[in-house]
Structure 1
């Protein structure tokens, strides 16, 4: 509200601050984009450009701007740097014990200038001159619940083991890799995990020095950690109540008791009720990971299992999946997904059904004299010998009665019009 107390006010353009920070030559390849060599001609060849400054609107831009300012303040001590450090203390001293409260975006008058508004609209805007409607009524002040905010998880992958260290945890909200990567864009489980592994490697390389960065091919442990990230995210999104009540021995859900669910060292939900603890099989077979039946990750896992088993039937696909995962109503899930497999429908699908036989026409079912309705056709060439033992070709003209199915045959020596008329005259003369 103090912004409108004086006659003049000063605002700054945050976009210009980003554009004044230049990118290093080695980092400019990450900002490539294509543009027409002749913007007026859409058929002109494309040219590759690179940004030389920090992009406004990129996710990493605020961090780069903040890091650059802090570095200059640290390396260039002076009146401005001192003033920049004193300003937060002055703000805190002026505020005293006042409590900062939440103002929704739609009721914030400051957003009118930062987001742009014409002078005519500003003169008629009641919120700019009087503030929000709830400002004078303390009972109507909006409140902000910080527990419902979705925050992202920052993870690092250790070099010595496969453990994933979570830097920020919040059990009241669903957080994880799904907030960064949209799983709906992928139709392959392998592609999803590999892209996730590259994203996690990029995050690790950003925090590492130049010599410690990984630039080779993906390792098996990185792909495995990417799979664990997606399993943990899916379990936290669907089975959050089951996870919270595992440590509660008094009130346990039915699914926890039936499957004997527990959390392993990677905080993944696993099943322990298969009674094969002493079998000489892998740990994932003894204690499979729990996944929901109706989820995109489960859909991708079923598709990959079906392809790895060379498009086998439902039972083989079930056996392959149950070596690693335990999915409720798995048979129904697999059956619904495999019914849409194009490859399987091509191989085992029914052939094109023959059309139904139409009813006979009236001429075929009404009483009539023979050959009143007649069909004509010719056979192929036949080879004959005359009395001089010379070979010649002949054809048979076939007259068929459509009512009685009687047949009359006539021999012709060629397929000319004259031969057919003579043949027809002989047929009529019978």
Structure 2
């Protein structure tokens, strides 16, 4: 996989930076008006165009971390590579994604490429989708008892039975729940027997 990645990067650089590679291979210096001149490019192992990093003296680090590979964002291979990193880090934000890419690569116009990938990613679009707030219906007149006594409009519920220990036996009890539809106040009454017996 590493060899295949190197070959693809080599081909992408040959298509996007042919004149720069020709100058460097002939021992000449890239002009200052070039868009990669600020990275002080040189040809590294396997003929890949790399940048001169500031941590070249760091011992416990690999070559790609010290000298990131220069890539063009308009190439299909570079886009696939960044998309793979984007899915591998579970669709994190732009800043984190930028830090991951910059570990081993220098991608020109990286922020534009990351925004483009995030805008076309189905998972990211679903995550950032705005939920629709439905229009609620008007409240019924029973819920709008303004300046009226409590329980002018009442909702009733009946629940149970519950086994209640009394002396050496257990008896069933039910509950009547009354709620005020305007203020949402609640009143509970204990019923000693079921409504069928009351009827």
Q: Provide TM-score, normalisation by structure 1.
A: 0.35
Q: Deviations over 1:107-136 (max 9, x none)?
A: xxxxxxxxxxxxxxxxxxxxxxxxxxxxxx
Does residue 140 of structure 2 align to residue 361 of structure 1?
yes
Q: What residue is the counterpart of 1:284 in the other structure? A: 64
Corresponding residue for residue 237 of structure 1: 15
**1:413 aligns to what?**
193
Q: CA deviation at 1:265?
A: 6.0
Cα deviation, residue 370, structure 1: 5.1
**1:230-309 → structure 2 map (5 Å cutoff):** 230-244=8-22, 246=24, 249=29, 251-264=31-44, 266-272=46-52, 274-280=53-59, 281-306=61-86
Structure with higher strand content: 2
Cα distance in 1 for residues equivalent to 2:30 and 2:50 = 20
Count of aligned positions:
191
Backbone CA RMSD of aligned residues = 4.2
Residue-by-residue CA offset, 1:307-337 (whole Å, 9 max, x unaligned): 6667776666545433432112435544664
Matched, 1:375 2:155: yes
> Structure 1 residue 244: deviation in Å?
5.0
SS in 2 for 1:255: coil
Normalised TM-score (structure 2): 0.66
Displacement of 1:390 in angstroms is 3.3
Q: Which structure 2 residues correspond to residues 139-158 of structure 1 after superposition, within 5 A? A: none
Match of 2:175 among 383, 392, 396: 396
Contact 1:397 1:411 in 2 (8 A): yes
Deviation at 1:393, TM superposition (A): 0.6
Map 1:277-356 onto structure 2 (within 5 A): 277-280=56-59, 281-306=61-86, 317-331=97-111, 333-334=113-114, 337=117, 340=121, 342=123
Q: Which has the larger radius of gyration?
A: 1
- Please tell me whether the aligned partners of residues 242 and 253 of structure 1 are also in contact (alpha carbons under 8 angstroms): no
Deviation at 1:277, TM superposition (A): 3.1
Contact 2:177/2:186 (8 A) holds in 1:
no
Closer, same or farther: CA 396–314 of 1 in aligned 2, 3 Å: same
